[in-house]
Amino acid sequence: MTEIVINIQELEKYYGKHLAVSDLTLSVQKGEIFGFLGANGAGKSTVIRCLLGLIKKTGGDISLFAGKYGSLTENLAHIGYLPSESQFYPDMNVKEVIALAARARKKDCRIEAERICQILEVPIDKKIKDLSLGNRKKVSIVCALQHQPELLILDEPTSGLDPLMQERFFKLIKEACAAGTTCFLSSHNLAEVKNYCDRVAIIREGKLLTIDTIENLTRSQTKRVTIWKDDQAETFNFAGTSSELLAHIQNLQPTDFLVEEPSLEELFLHYYEEVKA
């Protein structure tokens, strides 16, 4: 039987009179890399803060680890959280910050911390205030992963990392998930969601638009169609059956046409434009 690590049912969150998240329901399975995709301001960070108990939900229900642990404090002991932006004591060096994070969890994480630091080439003797954005992000990654949590909640984890470090980071995540860790990845980076996530949920203005595997989403009935007529090309997305598409193309009377599966980028835009319409 599949173990559900995150179970969100009809989540609702108001900030005053503003509805930030509305009737959101999803679940994440053990060992899964689950993509949570949406534009800036879509409600991704609000959902994460509700998951972590950083803010109170207005309505709905959230269950972590199928209720295995008795309290939010116990849940948090088994979670690694990487916020989109992290703040550290500027005059501490990297080694001290990583050790402080481990002591806060009352665990000896030195072996795993050293391993991650070597993989990500973390400058452990530098002071935080002297680090670049990318190196500060690396410190955040070490602090989130070093205690080998059961659940990783990652909010825009690769912002500031160069392509080589992004690849190494996701190698670490895949290794962890292969060993049983679950990953909830919030991002607006479509490429990394497509390359690494098992399933993805798309959210807009606090509402869930769709949730499915990457393969099923890109093999949906929505097709990318290019037609040529009078020496000009026109490209559009078409949502419908094959017979409806052929009838539509026949009405256009092109000299030639091409039908392709849409990219994740185009599919994302299609869902957003569909809601606006």
For the segment 213-230, the average pLDDT, to the nearest whole number, is 81
Position 212 pLDDT exceeds 60: yes
pLDDT in tens, 168-202: 999 999 999 999 999 999 987 788 888 899 999 99
| The predicted structure's pLDDT at residue 192 | 86
- Strand pairing report for 199-204 and 207-213: antiparallel
84 shares its domain with 178: yes
* Average pLDDT of the chain, as a whole number: 90
Residues 6+ apart with CB under 8 A from 189: 156, 158
Domain residues for the domain of 148 are 33-46+75-211
65 in a domain, yes or no?
no
Output the DSSP codes for 66-78. Answer: GG-SSSHHHHHTT
Position 277 pLDDT exceeds 60: no
Position 269 pLDDT exceeds 60: yes
Q: Residues of the chain with pLDDT > 90: what percent?
A: 71
Evaluate whether 62 touches 52 at the Cβ level (below 8 Å). Answer: no
139 shares its domain with 238: no
53 in a domain, yes or no?
no
170 in a domain, yes or no?
yes
Residue 72 phi/psi, 5° resolution?
-60, -40
Structural domain total, the chain? 2
230 shares its domain with 202: no
39 shares its domain with 173: yes
